[in-house]
Amino acid sequence: MTTDDPGPEPATGRDTPNGGPANSADQGPNAARAKSFGAVAAAYDAGRPTFPADALTWILGPGRLQVLDLGAGTGKLAAVAAGLGHDVVAVDPSEEMLSVCRRRPGIDTMVGAAESIPLAHGSVDAVIVGQAFHWFDHARALPEIARVLRPNGVLGLLWNDADRVVPWVRRFDRAIQGDDFGGDQFDPMPILLQSDLFALIETARFRHWQDLDRAGLRQLALSHSRVAVLTESRREAVLDQIDNIYDNTARPPEPLRMPYFTDCYRARPSDLANYRRTLDAPIAPHL
């Protein structure tokens, strides 16, 4: 899976279309990017793609569930879950992001981080993470996720990746990433496999498209942390490249269609995770 903006760990390169980083305490070279997401909340909401409903259905299965969207950002993934009939709480460290999320119906919101989830033990049937897992401190976040899940719960990780086989998408990606174009990849599978808290890990891929006009393509570019932290003159230079890509590719009034793959991971709490949870506190009742 190609990445486009680094998270805390060196091998990560994903930006977060769904929301900002769930670990806002990061220091070092990534701190400025991590803090930039709240400032571009409107651009995130306007420019970033949603997630395909069939991907979330694959993760959650049938029935009405209590779902935690962790690192929820502006709530694009949470909105899909709510639209499928689930009870959803969105948790994110950015008040700016959550202020946008609150405009969506059927979603409760809480400020919080993946490393310290503000929910009771065994209080949700599912934890979903849309394009934010690579920002987490996994050694702290995975025990927290296992703690709030019920024994038969599910952890679902989703990433939207633009299909860079398409030439204009490669040009867009190069304009956004600059020298980091085609850089590192992030694969959550080793992290999940090495954890003693999750088992039965499955994967699936879904295809979808995002229709964009000229302003939408600019908003998509602005929503990337690499662009958000640039000086004004450098940011305008990048946006000039984006406008040029649109003008030489789109055929108005038809929208420009950005192709995406959504890569999904589905895992269940291990027996050890369930045992540890029951030692810590009683399971919260269903609402």
C-alpha to C-alpha distance for 237 and 224, rounded to whole angstroms: 15
Q: What is the pTM of this model?
A: 0.84
Say which amino acid occupies 110.
Answer: M
C-alpha to C-alpha distance for 267 and 53, rounded to whole angstroms: 18
Contact partners, residue 262, CB within 8 Å, separation at least 6: 51, 52, 55, 158, 159, 160, 161, 205, 206, 207, 208
Confidence (pLDDT) at 125: 98
Q: What order of strands is seen across the sheet that includes strand 149-162?
A: 107-111, 87-92, 66-70, 124-130, 149-162, 256-269, 198-212
Confidence (pLDDT) at 19: 40
Task: Count the alpha carbons within 13 Å of 284 in the hemisphere toward its beta carbon.
Answer: 15
- DSSP 8-state symbol, 22: S
C-alpha to C-alpha distance for 199 and 172, rounded to whole angstroms: 37
Confidence (pLDDT) at 276: 80
* Residue 201 backbone zone (phi > 0: left; psi -120 to 50: alpha; other: beta): beta
In order along its 287 residues, the chain shows pLDDT tens digits of 444 443 333 333 445 434 444 444 444 444 444 444 445 788 778 889 999 999 999 999 999 999 999 999 999 999 999 999 999 999 999 999 999 999 999 999 999 999 999 999 999 999 999 989 999 999 999 999 999 999 999 999 999 999 999 999 999 999 998 766 565 678 999 999 998 999 999 999 999 999 999 999 999 999 887 898 899 999 999 999 999 999 999 999 999 999 999 999 999 998 888 878 777 665 555 65
Please give the angle made by the CA atoms of 15, 19 and 23, to the nearest 5 degrees: 80
C-alpha to C-alpha distance for 262 and 213, rounded to whole angstroms: 22
